[in-house]
Amino acid sequence: MTVRLNKYLADRKIASRREADVLIAEGKVLVNGKKAVIGQKVSDDDLVRLAPDATKAKTYLAYYKGRGIISHSPKKGEVDVATRLKKDFGLKDVFPVGRLDKDSEGLMIVTNDGLVTGELLEPGNEHEKEYEVEVDKAVTGRFLKKLAEGVDIEGYRTKPALTAPAGERRFRIVLTEGKKHQIRRMCAALGWQVKTLKRVRIANIKVGQLKPNQYRKIVGRELENFLKELSLK
């Protein structure tokens, strides 16, 4: 049985499909001693090797995205995370994984490892993301119970979540999915409006003491546990 070479490399956690295609186009992937070509198919009987200079050092950062900053694809007059990191810190060739609304703030994972994107954002993997939320009126036990059980948002019922009070008008919620504007839509469906929303954790990575537009490197045991949870180690 044969598969496309980019899928072969992705399945073996060597590179994402997109990264694999770049490596192939640059002539850095060899199949049976010959340079591979885009679209080539291979089997387990083929000898697939990377050129010595094909791999690059991986970077993993915990970054605090402030309110008003765009995660990806800014429009005229807007600033996105990658541009901010390049301008303020000289960080190049890294990208934020996933999205966080313009009006929301908090933790984003920034990396140059394309494998993280697929593993972290794949809905079936159900990695936890924790948020602190402030709403426009008092939080009730019934409100939190309904959020935890799942809320119908335009025909879709959200998956069970963990909730806990954090003040008169504040609560914490842990999701294992990431529908667009999900928390805001869940609250609105129950009659509450979100005033502020901050993501404080992704998997085992916590925002900690970071402030808007600050970052720290994810290293050591923290990185090891993160990659293990994503089945990348």
> Which residues have a catalytic role annotated?
101
Q: What is the DSSP letter of 70?
A: B
Tally Cβ neighbours within 10 Å of residue 76.
4
Q: Are 98 and 121 in contact (CB under 8 A)?
A: yes
Whether residue 109 contacts residue 97, with contact meaning beta carbons closer than 8 Å, is answered with yes
DSSP secondary structure code for residue 15 in this structure: -
Q: Which residue has the tokens 């010959």?
A: 34
Structure tokens of 228? 């293990």
Q: Quick check: 29 and 48 in contact, CB under 8 A?
A: yes
Query: Residue 167's CB: how many other CB atoms inside 10 A?
Result: 11
Instruction: State both tokens at 42.
Output: 């291979």
HSE, CB side, 13 Å, CA atoms: give it for residue 98.
25
- What gap in Å lies between CA 202 and CA 187, rounded to an integer? 21
Residue 179 and residue 161 in contact, taking contact as beta carbons nearer than 8 Å: no
